[in-house]
Amino acid sequence: MSAGLAGRIELGGEISASSLGFGAMRLPGVWERPKDPREAHRVLRRAIELGVNFIDTAHAYGPETSERLIAEALHPTPRS
């Protein structure tokens, strides 16, 4: 199944987001550095493969743990 099936939200100009996002609170080890960060990286990359281009996170998760995992997993990612 693809997140693209849920549709897109136009944010203006050439920017849009998938209607179906990913909540970073679901990442393994969100409250502290996970024992196996590669698992979190796999989850994030799979979300992108499925068409998600909006990842919701909050400073309260970690703090900064989910943001670092996202950056490690997805940088550099080509624009779509």
Q: Is the peptide bond before 76 cis (omega within 30 degrees of 0)?
A: yes
Cα separation, 36 vs 41, whole angstroms: 9
**Is 10 annotated as catalytic?**
no
Residues in the chain: 80
Backbone angles phi, psi at 46, to 5 degrees: -65, -40
Choice among 18, 61, 65, 70 that is catalytic: 61
Active site residues: 61
